[in-house]
Amino acid sequence: MQTRTLGSNGTTSLQVSALGLGCMGMSFGYGPPQDKPAMISLLRAAVERGITFFDTAEVYGPFANEELLGEALAPVREQVVIATKFGFRIDAEGRRQDGLDSRPEHIRAVAEASLRRLRCETIDLFYQHRVDPQVPIEEVAGAVGELIRAGKVRHFGLSEAGVNTIRRAHAVQPVTALQSEYSLWWREPEQQILPTLETLGIGFVPFSPLGRGFLTGKIDEHTHFDASDFRHSVPRFAVEARRTNKALIEVLTAIATPRGLTSAQLALAWLLAKKPWIVPIPGTTRLPRLEENIAAAAVSLSAEDVQQIEAAAARIPVQGARYTEQMNRMVDR
């Protein structure tokens, strides 16, 4: 697989595979946790197939996903880049609490705990998971900068951060990557985020590049979501919204099929064609889906192809909010 360069920590740039692997769903968020041995096998299969960029967070579980990656990737640690995140409140028993916590002392404590779970000496990319309105971003950037100078972290990242926050953080400690949602059914980052990142030399890591599975075409109004699957409460996945949004899949499939692609591969190839510093991180728990996603990295779309895809998608207004009101309140504007 080809590699791409995200941003720099001020001295060293971060190079990763053109596609990464979002690992949250293996342990958290999309129903019950998956079988651990099977997920270890899948993670190692991803490395064998050229993926070097793996995304996790302490809150996925909590803790279970970092532990999974730590065990699975220990034998190949020097070959891979692991990104994890801080910023949520989690009690001593490993239960997520309401609210955010990006106090410098908390960041340092999370880093030490994540290093133990990941079985490594340095975190490659350390994201603030959500912007904490109670802690100035300059203090957050400064704390991560200290960890970088101490050799415990290599690169600083932000997630779901707005333009003003990105600029303020970057002035204190260079931001290597921003991770936010971006796909053919959520294109808001094109308005302000992408131009800002390009100006500052910051890479972009789209999460949910397949619309939390919807752009695969495997989800419709008859799909049942387990109560532990957060899509169960997301407006965009309400039955009526799914029924209406199916029109987008039909449009994408009509473009993809003559090219010998699936709708998911078209959606990933579109993202990769947008900018050379964009690295999507689709998640999966199945080897066939992993291989399907990886094949998208070899697809080359022309500027005319991209325009055709965007024009077709723009004719289908997507129904339903992407987050619940509670989740949306944690997105920095």
Which residues carry out catalysis? 60
Contacts of 63 (CB under 8 A, 6+ apart): 90, 94, 117
Contacts of 157 (CB under 8 A, 6+ apart): 83, 85, 125, 126, 127, 128, 175, 176, 177, 178, 179, 205
Rounded Cα distance between 296 and 35, Å, is 27
CB 128 within 8 A of CB 90: no
- Could you tell me which of 209, 156, 203, 282 has the C-alpha nearest to residue 5? 203
Token readout for 201 is 């030399």
